[in-house]
Amino acid sequence: MMHTIRLHLSQLFGLSLLLLVFACNREPANDTDSRAQVDSLKQLTSKLYTLHIDDIRLNVEIAQDPESLEKGLMFRRKLPEDQGMLFVFPYEHVLSFWMRNTYIPLDIAFIDASGKVIDIQYMEPIDESKHYVSSGPALYALEVNGGWFARHQLGVGAMVVF
């Protein structure tokens, strides 16, 4: 069932990316119209989606394309308590994150292909000297406000349902 959900999520973002590419490559009426269409499609891909971690609901932005995977939550000064960012990778592997230009203290959960949380780490804001490496292969990483997992009494082994 999780594989079907992941495929559905990938199809949704693939379609959004296809629409973005189409908008960029078509002949615009003028440069202003073209920029407005691309901005509109980018907003579509930064829409919030709901997932559940055990019984806790969380709204997430999805980072799946190279630009959003690299930028993540950089330059933001706050993150609503019920929101986070889900990083979706093309295949499971050991993931490594850092906090360049990230001003919010964060928790990061590394999640395997079955939706199981395999590791949770607290990340210090602005500290580029530390790298936060998953304890094993992960397909997803979920960033939320620092302490979010403890406040919701969630830990390693919790299941994420998309």
pLDDT tens per residue across span 122-132: 999 999 999 99
Choice between 31 and 161, residue whose per-residue pLDDT is larger? 161
- Is residue 102 within 8 A of residue 74, CB to CB? The reply is yes
Nearest partner of 89 among 126, 24, 38, 141, judged by Cα: 141
pLDDT tens per residue across span 58-103: 999 999 999 999 999 999 999 999 999 999 999 999 999 999 999 9
* Backbone dihedral angles phi then psi of residue 93, each to the nearest 5 degrees: -165, 170
Q: Which domains does the chain have, with CATH numbers?
A: 1-46 (no CATH), 48-161 (2.60.120.1140)
Paired sense of beta strands 49-53 and 56-63, if any: antiparallel
Choice between 21 and 142, residue whose per-residue pLDDT is larger? 142
Q: pTM of the predicted model, to two decimals?
A: 0.73
